Amino acid sequence: MEPTVSKCSIPTALKEVAAGRASILTEEFAHLIGLKNQTVRRYLYQKGSVFGVRPFRIGRKLQWPVEQVAALLNGEAE
């Protein structure tokens, strides 16, 4: 079950990418924060999170919660 999106301020770029979904794929997350996919995956496996954002899995795919990504992009995350 995917987490629900709260009433936090979601940046326009993230709204366009998420298109109403509660989570985004690794490729979309990497593009939003300006890193390559492999860099995001490396940070995740080395540190357990990427700038304080922790994904969850659906099958083999990592899903990044829009709420946490919005907090990161707004400067509210670790």
Is 4 contained in some domain? no
Is 47 contained in some domain? yes
Q: What is the pTM of this model?
A: 0.84
Is 8 contained in some domain? no
Is 1 contained in some domain? no
The dihedral over CA atoms of 29, 70, 55, 60, expressed in degrees to the nearest 10, equals: -40
Total domains, the chain: 1
Is 56 contained in some domain? yes
Q: What is the pLDDT of residues 3-58, one digit of tens each?
A: 554 557 889 999 999 999 999 999 999 999 999 999 999 999 999 999 999 999 99
What is the CATH classification number for the domain harbouring 38?
1.10.1660
pLDDT at residue 9, rounded to an integer: 86
